[in-house]
Amino acid sequence: QQSPPRNASSGRDRLLGGLLSPDFDGPSCRSRYEGSERWKPSPFPVSSHLVRKLREYEAHHRRCGPGTAAYRAARAQLLSGRNGDRGECRYVVWLPIQGLGNRMLGLVSTFLYAVLTGRVLLVHEPAEMEALFCEPFPGTSWLLPPSGFPSLDRGFWSSCPESYASMLESNVIGYDYDDDGGGKNASAMLPAYVYLHLENMDLRLQNHTFCEEDHRALDRFNWMVLRSDSYFAVALFLVPAYRDQLGRMFPAKGAVFHHLGRYLLHPGNRAWGVVRRFFDGYLAGADERLGVQVRVVPQSHTPFEAMYDRIQRCARENGLLPQVTDEPFAGVVNGTANGSKARTKAVLLVSLKPEYYERLHGTYYANATVSGEVVTVYQPSHDGDQRTESRAHNERALAEIFLLSYCDEMVTTGWSTFGYVAHALAGVRPWLLVPQDWSKARDDDVACVRPASVEPCLHSPPSLVCRGGGGGKGLDDPVARVPFLRHCEDVGFGLKLV
Ligand code: GDP
C-alpha cells in the first residue's frame, strides 16, 4: 500500500498548532505556509503559553520596529552616546558569523533571548544573506535599517571597548548600582549600547555571560549588539531568572529549536523555489525518504573509504537501506504478484562533495535489492567548498537543509550545525556519524549513534564562574543538577536539552 505523497494542500495544519500567525499574505513568502504542509506532524505539542508569548512578541515588535516613532526616538538616544532612561522599546541587534547552520542556531537563540528579556530582535543582513529568509513578524520588519549602527563597519570582538566583559573590567558597569540616586552608577549614564560576545571561543563561551548578575547588568542597556554562532539557547536555561518562563513555554525541553526554528526561519522565495522543484520532482512520490548528510571539513582529513564505510555500516546495522544482490530480479515476483508497484525509497544525499552520491547512486543503479524495494539516490548540488560569502551558495545550502527536514529518517555528520538544524526542524532523531577525529578511528567503532533528543548541541558551554562562585560552584557540571540537560553524543563536553 503506497502512502499518499506529502505534497501541498493535503489539509495539514499549516499554522503548526498556532506557532505561525495567520496574518501574512502568501506571495511575499511562499514557504511560510507551503513549507509547513510538507513536514510530518510534529511529535511535540505546542504549548498555549508559547503561542501567547509569540503573539505578544509580534505586537511589541510592531510597536517598536523600524519605521515607528518609538524606533526613531530610541535611535536618536543611541546616537546621543548615552543609554538614557529605561525605554519601553529595547533592542537586540544580531550580527551573523560563520556558516549557515551556525547562523541559524545563533539567530534562534537570540530570538529566544529577545522574547525572555522583552527586547526587539533586529537582524543585520549582509549582502550574502539578502532575502535568504522571509520576514517572520507580521506588519513590521526585523531588518536593521541600513542607515547605520555605530561601529558596525569597524566590527566587534570579545575585548572591544563596547563589549560587556571590557565594561566590567574597566568598571564602566558594575553589579551594584543605584538608579534612584542619579549618580555615576545610574543606568542613564551608561554608554548607549553594550556588545555581548557569544561566539564559540576554543569551545567555551566568554566568562560573565550566563550568570544571574550579568543578566541583571545587561538588562540595564536599552540597546544591545550580540554576535553568536552558537546554540546558546541551552545556556539560557541555566539562568534562574528565565527558568519559569522557559518552563511554561517549553513543557518538552527537547523541542525548543524544533518549534522556534519552524516559527522563525522561512526560506525566501528564491531558496524556496529550489526546495519546491526538487522536492516535488524527485522526492514527493517516494514511499519513504532517507536523508544522508555528509559534512567533511578539510581539517578532519576524512578518508573517503572510511567515511563511506561508516555510512554503509550505519545504514545496514539500523535497517535504513536494503541490501543489494547480484540477482537482477530479486524480490520482484512477490512485489508485483498482485500488480502493485514496488516500494520506493528516495535517498537525499547532501554534501559539498560528489563522491558519496556517486558511489551510493551507482550501487542502487546497478543492483537490485534483496527486498525488491527500489532505492533512488539524489544529490541536489555539490559546490565543492564552503562559500559563505556567496548568496546563491547560501540559498542552495538553505534549500538542502529544508529538503533534509522533509525526510522521514536521517543520517547526519556529528559536530555539524548544518545537520543539527535539519533534524531539529524535522523533529527527527538522526543517526549521528562519529567520530570527528579519523586518526583515532578503529574499524570496530560504532558507526553511528542515536541522540537522546532532536535538539542541536551547544558546542561551547558557558563558564559558570559567577560572582561568589569562587571557581568552585561555577565549575561544576550543570548536567549533574539540571534534569533536562545532557552532554552531547558527538561532542562530549557539549550541552543539549532533552
Ligand atoms: P557546519 O560547519 O557543518 O557546522 O555547518 P555550517 O552550515 O555552519 O557551515 C557549513 C557551510 O558549508 C554551509 O552553511 C554551506 O555554506 C556549506 N555546506 C556544507 N555542507 C553543505 C551541503 O551539504 N550542501 C550545501 N549546499 N552546502 C553545504
* pLDDT on residue 248: 98
- Best of 100, 105, 385 for a ligand 1 pocket test (most atoms within 8 Å of beta carbon): 100
- Best of 129, 132, 307, 352 for a ligand 1 pocket test (most atoms within 8 Å of beta carbon): 352
Q: Judge if the beta carbon of residue 400 lies within 6 A of ligand 1.
A: yes
* pLDDT on residue 9: 44
- Best of 418, 421, 425, 488 for a ligand 1 pocket test (most atoms within 8 Å of beta carbon): 418
In terms of Cα–Cα distance, which of 413, 437, 439, 433 is closest to 352? 413
Looking at residues 389-414, what average pLDDT do you find?
97
Atom of ligand 1 nearest to the CA of 351: 23
Kindly report the protein residue whose alpha carbon is nearest to atom 12 of ligand 1.
Answer: 386
What one-letter code names the amino acid at 15? L
Q: In this structure, how many other beta carbons lie within 10 angstroms of the beta carbon of residue 204?
A: 14
In a 10 Å sphere around its CB, with 0-12 CB exposed, 13-18 middle and 19+ buried, how is residue 492 labelled? Answer: exposed
Atom of ligand 1 nearest to the CA of 294: 23
pLDDT in tens, 307-334: 999 999 999 999 999 999 999 888 775 5
Atom of ligand 1 nearest to the CA of 417: 4
Q: Is 413 helix (H, G, I), strand (E, B) or coil?
A: strand
* pLDDT on residue 178: 65
pLDDT surpasses 50 at 207 = yes
What confidence category does residue 3 fall into, taking pLDDT thresholds of 50, 70 and 90?
Answer: very low
Averaged confidence pLDDT in the chain: 91
Give the span between the Cα atoms of 324 and 334, in whole angstroms: 16
Instruction: Describe the crossing of helices 355-366 and 304-317 by its angle, rounded to 10 degrees.
Output: 50
Name residue, grid cell 500567525. Answer: 21
* pLDDT on residue 470: 45
pLDDT surpasses 60 at 469 = no
What confidence category does residue 7 fall into, taking pLDDT thresholds of 50, 70 and 90?
Answer: very low
- Alpha helices per DSSP H over 229-328: 233-236, 240-249, 256-264, 269-278, 304-317
* pLDDT on residue 340: 72
Looking at residues 378-391, what average pLDDT do you find?
95
pLDDT surpasses 80 at 177 = no
The more confidently predicted of residues 110 and 436 is: 110
Give the span between the Cα atoms of 53 and 340, in whole angstroms: 49
Looking at residues 138-161, what average pLDDT do you find?
90
Looking at residues 262-281, what average pLDDT do you find?
98
How far, in Å, are 13, 29, 63 from residue 270 at the CA level?
24, 10, 30
Question: How close is the Cα of 295 to the center of ligand 1, in Å?
Answer: 7
pLDDT in tens, 301-312: 889 999 999 999
* pLDDT on residue 300: 79
Question: How close is the Cα of 198 to the center of ligand 1, in Å?
Answer: 21
* pLDDT on residue 150: 87
ipTM value, please give it: 0.99
Give the span between the Cα atoms of 112 and 422, in whole angstroms: 19
Bridge partner residues of 392 (DSSP):
none
* pLDDT on residue 414: 95
Atom of ligand 1 nearest to the CA of 101: 7
Range with lowest mean pLDDT among 101-115, 171-185, 259-273, 427-441: 171-185
pLDDT in tens, 360-376: 999 999 999 999 999 99
Question: How close is the Cα of 294 to the center of ligand 1, in Å?
Answer: 10
pLDDT surpasses 70 at 153 = yes
Atom of ligand 1 nearest to the CA of 421: 7
Q: Judge if the beta carbon of residue 353 lies within 6 A of ligand 1.
A: no
Q: Judge if the beta carbon of residue 417 lies within 6 A of ligand 1.
A: yes
In terms of Cα–Cα distance, which of 98, 126, 11, 132 is closest to 392? 132
Can you list the domains of the chain with their CATH numbers?
41-252 (no CATH), 269-461+487-497 (3.40.50.11350)
Quick one: how many helices (H) and strands (E) in the chain? 15, 14
What confidence category does residue 468 fall into, taking pLDDT thresholds of 50, 70 and 90?
Answer: low
Looking at residues 469-476, what average pLDDT do you find?
50
